[in-house]
Chains A and B, each alone.
Chain A
């Protein structure tokens, strides 16, 4: 069974530009989560999508946005990039069950903002 996939693997952008990151969940998983991990820091929750709807977002500015498609894949968009947006962006998927359960992470997209 294929795991969570993310593209691209690496990305270099300059301040003020816009970027789109992509994620394909494990087959059968309807929930997709996005996390940001800046160098040396912990994982910060960004967004949760389920059944095509944004269900929750973390403490990030509105220039971080995304969407989930009917096939449950997802995009994360970041507008007006700032230097501090440089980080590993991780996508995870799970079954939408009450009571929690594990998240299955992709390999991440390394974004560098110059």
Chain B
């Protein structure tokens, strides 16, 4: 199965700056990749989905890139705000067997 690697160290960033998170995977390239946000004690919330034939996807202050050659996705939060503080999860391949595999997540802390 896929191994998904996300930075285990928390990303501390100042308000207004851009936060960049990395998701690396091994083995086969997934047909698509998803990003979720999770607040403590709550269920993940879907943010963005990018397909293998898409290089970049944007939604408001969020941007995701997908490089199948590097087997990597980058997730950017521009003009970060304290309300963006959360753990961000990348997930691969809700395959025909229904399994969406999640990375362990990277915690983002935005300070005023």
A residues in contact (CB < 8 Å) with B: 4, 31, 33, 35, 41-43, 45, 48, 50, 55-56, 58, 88, 90, 92, 94, 98-108, 110
Segment at the A interface, from B10-18, B21-29, B61-69, B101-109: B101-109
CB distance from B52 to the nearest CB of A (A): 11
User: B43 and A98: CB pair below 8 A?
Assistant: no
**How big is chain B's contact interface, by range?**
20 to 34
User: A56 and B42: CB pair below 8 A?
Assistant: no
B residues in contact (CB < 8 Å) with A: 31-32, 34, 41-46, 49, 89, 93-105
- Which residues of A sit under 8 angstroms from B100, Cβ to Cβ? 33, 45, 100, 103
Q: List 17 A-B contacts (CB under 8 A).
A: A31-B98, A33-B98, A42-B89, A42-B103, A43-B44, A50-B98, A55-B97, A55-B98, A56-B97, A56-B98, A58-B99, A94-B94, A99-B31, A100-B31, A103-B100, A105-B44, A108-B41
- Which residues of A sit under 8 angstroms from B95, Cβ to Cβ? 100
What separation, in Å, do the CA atoms of A31 and B101 have in the docked complex? Answer: 16
User: B102 and A108: CB pair below 8 A?
Assistant: no
What separation, in Å, do the CA atoms of A58 and B101 have in the docked complex? Answer: 11
